[in-house]
Amino acid sequence: MAYVRPEQVVNETNFLAASKFVSFPRQVDDTSYAVMTDSRGHKVIPAGTVYPTNDDKAEGVTIDEVDVTYGAQPLGVIVEGYIYGKKLPKEPVATAMTALSKITFVDEAAGATVQD
């Protein structure tokens, strides 16, 4: 017996300004501030989310979307590199940008640095 699902279109935005970056594995679950429910009813954390919180405790930015519907999952967190801040699902607040001292947030229109 074959199971057929309707076609699903995935839209991804490239928020990386350069191909070189440094990332480390972290663990995340459905208690994260960034959990959203997708069209299938799954709890997901979008790629480009400031991790673990969008404030002065920020450690990095998630590389991929992760599904935490059925429990904690590993994910990659970028801790060093160049990122288009305006292309993230939610722009980092000023305190998060300060905490992410090894990430340079780039304005995609002018190529200027967004952080101080």
Say what percent of the chain tops pLDDT 90. 77
Q: Is 6 inside any structural domain?
A: no
Q: Is 64 inside any structural domain?
A: yes
With a cut of 50, say whether residue 110 has pLDDT above it.
Answer: no
Look-up: residue for tokens 């709890």? 43
Q: Is 16 inside any structural domain?
A: no
DSSP label of 16: B
Q: What is the pLDDT of residues 99-108, one digit of tens each?
A: 999 999 997 4
Q: Is 2 inside any structural domain?
A: no
For residues 79-98, average pLDDT: 95
With a cut of 60, say whether residue 109 has pLDDT above it.
Answer: no
Give the residue with greater pLDDT, 40 vs 42: 42
Q: Is 38 helix (H, G, I), strand (E, B) or coil?
A: coil
Structural domains of the chain, count: 1
Q: Is 87 inside any structural domain?
A: yes
pTM, two decimals, is 0.82
Look-up: residue for tokens 């190529």? 111
Contacts of 16 (CB under 8 A, 6+ apart): 81, 82, 83, 84
Q: Residue 87: which of 16, 9, 10 has the closest Cα?
A: 16
Q: Is 56 inside any structural domain?
A: yes
For residues 73-82, average pLDDT: 97
Look-up: residue for tokens 């801790």? 79
pLDDT for the residue 108: 47
Assess contact for 113 and 90: CB atoms under 8 A: no
Instruction: State both tokens at 9.
Output: 């279109």
Q: Residue 90: give its domain's CATH number.
A: 2.40.300
CA distance 102 to 105: 10
Q: Is 10 inside any structural domain?
A: no
pLDDT confidence of 85, banded at 50, 70, 90? very high
